[in-house]
Amino acid sequence: MTRGDGTLAVPLRVPEALETPAISLKRGEACTLVIFGAGGDLAQRKLVPALAHLHCDGLLHERFAVIGVAREAIDADTFRDRMHRAVRESEDAGDVPESVWRDLAPRIDYVRGDLHDPALYATLAQRLGNIEEDAGDRGRLFYLAIPPSVYEIAVRQLSNSGVAPRTADREERPWRRIIIEKPFGHSRETARRLNRVVGRAFAEHQVYRIDHYLGKETVQNLLVFRFANSIFEPVWNRAHIHHVQITAAETVGVEHRAGYYEESGVVRDMFQNHLLQLLSLTAMEPPTAFRADPVRDEKVKVLNAIRPFDPAGLDDRAVRGQYGPGELNGERVVGYRQEPNVDAESGVPTFAAFRVLIDSWRWQGVPFWLRSGKRLARRATEIAIQFRHPPHVMFPNDSQRAIQPNRLCFAIQPHEAISLCMEIKVPGIGVRMTSAKMDFNYNETFGDHRHSAYETLLLDAMVGDQTLFARKDGVEAAWAVVDPVIEAWEAAPARDFPNYAAGSWGPDAAQALADRDGVRWRRP
């Protein structure tokens, strides 16, 4: 079969005997999940559907309960009805049978209150106490799905009220843990400050800083691919790799989040967290064990080895963009500045491309090209490793095409796949070559697994596994990478915005920058 990009497809099959059962090996521990901001988008679109799905798979403990906390004056029945609707409408868990919901619903409670008010925490303590009256330990998992401006107050109150005491020992039971959503800080300084506030209230082993990209299937598979196979690691370095491209392209615009996005922009929103997480997993040294600290130690080393962006030479390493009006999927869409609640002269970037260099023995001279943008031509997140050209080509000049270097591609979304592109001979007399792709496609191999990142991460938090969560030093190191770019760009507003049309692949300057390395941005 020939693909749209001209390569041949060679499907890679998993031998039947090696297929693993779909059932996860771990099951959540007995606990109560307290969701602050339960009336919000995240709780309704992601968290509650993820819980319903986990329950469907039998992964929630029989002594699991949920308390939603929000300001709205509604009763628990109304809250449950809303969550029921959210589950039915959710794309992640629309197939949850009614019987599963009927079993889960009675375990969902609601507490109304203001995060600043100590009375809220007294009520919460009482409700938690009632739930915990039965025999055996029950953990408490607090999820901050609230605006970052109230993180500190919630953390302090949880601690001061005694609802979530600090526990010195990771093994201490019953456990108390907190999940903190992104954005974790607005800069390195504010992230540090938040880390200090959190660190006074909780020990690091109690803190789960979530980045939902780490819960995505292919992202986790990157670890397995690199460290459970022996053939790739020897070529995973500067001697064999020409460059790496990491793309997170979105077709959506700013949607209803202009208030947040105008303060944030693409670098804070996507680079500080998701893209640098993907980069550190791709570039890190082999950890000694698949445990939280050995893995996170190696990731932090990569972030610390990134060559700082020098504001003076920034144009050689970074490009910014903002979308103007355009056409996407056959429909006219407005530009960023015309979106509701966006400043008509906004200088906020909705696209950026970075040339990242890692000063280490392994990666010296290998550029990591990172790009992300809203309203691009297609939704695609991928990591593409481009190998070097063969040092010497013994074949006679093929008049039709030059030899293409090998490329290994981890498609993260919308389709999860791993493919290896290589040169092969076209059958027939004479030597003519073409590219073929060896493909491993998750859905074709394992069927439709419909397992959201939030399911993975919620379950990990319930069993106390921090491997896929950011550590204190990792968050600060990532901010240290992006801060100089953000500061330089905020100090010198772009004069050419908007500089790409919605539905395109970003500003021309992004390609012009890559041209200097002889790199063509991929069109996933």
The 8-class DSSP code of residue 376 comes to B
Contact 482, 308 (CB under 8 A): no
Q: Give the amino acid at 472.
A: K
- In angstroms, what is the minimal distance from the CB of 414 to ligand BG6? 9
**Rounded alpha-carbon distances, angstroms, from residue 23 to 29, 54, 59:** 16, 11, 9
58 CB-side CA count, 13 A:
4
The arrangement of strands across the sheet holding 417-425 comes to 8-11, 433-441, 417-425, 407-413, 380-387, 241-249, 368-373, 351-356, 318-321
What is the C-alpha to C-alpha distance for residues 288 and 295, in angstroms, rounded to an integer? 8
CB of 381 to ligand BG6, least distance (A): 6
**Residue nearer to ligand BG6 on the CB measure, 261 or 505:** 261
d(CA 58, CA 64): 12
Residue 206 near residue 176 (C-beta atoms within 8 A): yes
In the bound complex, what is the minimum distance in angstroms from residue 46's beta carbon to ligand BG6? 10
Smallest separation (angstroms) from ligand BG6 to the CB of 260: 8
| Cβ count near 422 (within 10 Å) | 16
* 60-88 CB burial, b ≥16 within 10 A, e <16: beebbbbbbbbeeebebeebbebbbebbe
CB 373 within 8 A of CB 398: no
Least separation in angstroms between residue 460's CB and ligand BG6 is 17
Residues that bind ligand BG6 (CB under 6 A): 182, 212, 250, 269, 381
Phi, psi dihedral angles at 19 (to 5 degrees) = -65, 135
The active-site residue, picked from 53, 55, 243, 274, is 274
Q: Compare residues 8 and 150 and give the one whose CB is closer to ligand BG6.
A: 150
Q: Return the structure tokens found at 36.
A: 């602050």
DSSP state of 44: I
Active-site residue, 243 included: no
- According to DSSP, the residues that pair with 352 across neighbouring strands are 320, 372
Rg over alpha carbons for the chain, rounded to the nearest Å, is 24
Single-letter residue type at 177: R
According to DSSP, residue 274 is labeled I
Give 63 or 182: the residue with its C-beta nearer to ligand BG6: 182
Minimum CB separation from ligand BG6 for residue 370, in Å? 14
Of 31 and 411, the one with the shorter C-beta distance to ligand BG6 is 411
Amino acid identity, residue 273? N
Rounded least distance, CB 182 to ligand BG6, Å: 6
Residue 132 or 269 with smaller CB distance to ligand BG6: 269
Q: Which is nearer to ligand BG6, 55 or 182 (CB)?
A: 182
Cβ-closest position to ligand BG6: 269
Is the Cβ of residue 269 or residue 339 nearer to ligand BG6 in the bound state?
Answer: 269
| Residue 230 CA: distances (Å) to CA of 225, 244, 286, 366, 377 | 9, 20, 12, 22, 37
Could you give the residue numbers annotated as active site? 274
